[in-house]
Amino acid sequence: MASRSADSRNGSAGKAQSPAIDSVSLAIIEQLQEDGRRPYAAIGKAVGLSEAAVRQRVQKLLDQGVMQIVAVTDPLTVGFRRQAMVGVRVEGDLDPVADALTAMAECEYVVMTAGSFDLMVEVVCEDDDHLLEVINKRIRALPGVRSTESFVYLKLKKQTYMWGTR
C-alpha cells in the first residue's frame, strides 16, 4: 500500500486552503509511504508517539484529505495492457472538460497545464482497442476539446509515491 496526496484523486491540487502539517505528521506519512500496512505501534516508536496518538493523527490526515492509503498495482498484472498520456487542447473553459475527464474511469490522472496542452490525462486501458475507443469516441467527443495527442507507454520504468514528504 502507499499513501498518496488526496489532491491527486479529487482534483483539488493547488487550492488555497490546505491544512498545516507538522514534522511529526510528515514523519508518520513517510512511515506509511514505506509500508502502508506498518502497525501504529511501530510508527509510534519511530516518531515518538503512542499507538493511540498515531491512530488519531492518521485518522485526522485521512479525514482532512491530506493522504489516502491505497494498494498500488502494476496495471499489466491486473489486465490493463495499455497506458497512455493524452495531451488535450481545449477551446474555452477548461473546467467542464477536466470534470468530464475526471469522471471517466479510465482517466487516472487529470492535470491542467501551461504549455502546448491545456490538460494532460493519464489513461489506463485493457488494450489498444479500448484506448482507441476512449480517445476517439469519448475524449474527442467532449464539447470544447479541440485536439488530442497521445503518448503510448511502451514500458513503465518508475512509479513511486514517495514525493509526499521530500
Go through 29-65 and write b for each residue having 16 or more CB atoms within 10 A of its CB, e for each that does not. bbbbbeebebebeebbeebebeeebbeebbeebeeee
Give the start-end residues of each E strand in 7-144.
68-70, 82-90, 107-112, 119-125
Q: What pLDDT is recorded for position 129?
A: 97
3-class state of residue 99 by DSSP: helix
**Residues paired with residue 120 on neighbouring β-strands, in sequence order:** 87, 111
pLDDT of residue 157: 86
pLDDT the model gives residue 38: 95
Using a cut of 0.95, tell me whether the model's pTM lies above it. no
Instruction: For the chain, 166 residues long, give each residue's pLDDT as a single digit of tens.
Output: 444 444 444 444 444 466 788 999 999 999 998 899 999 999 999 999 999 999 999 999 999 999 988 887 777 778 888 999 999 999 999 999 999 999 999 999 999 999 999 999 999 999 999 999 999 999 999 999 999 999 999 988 887 776 666 5
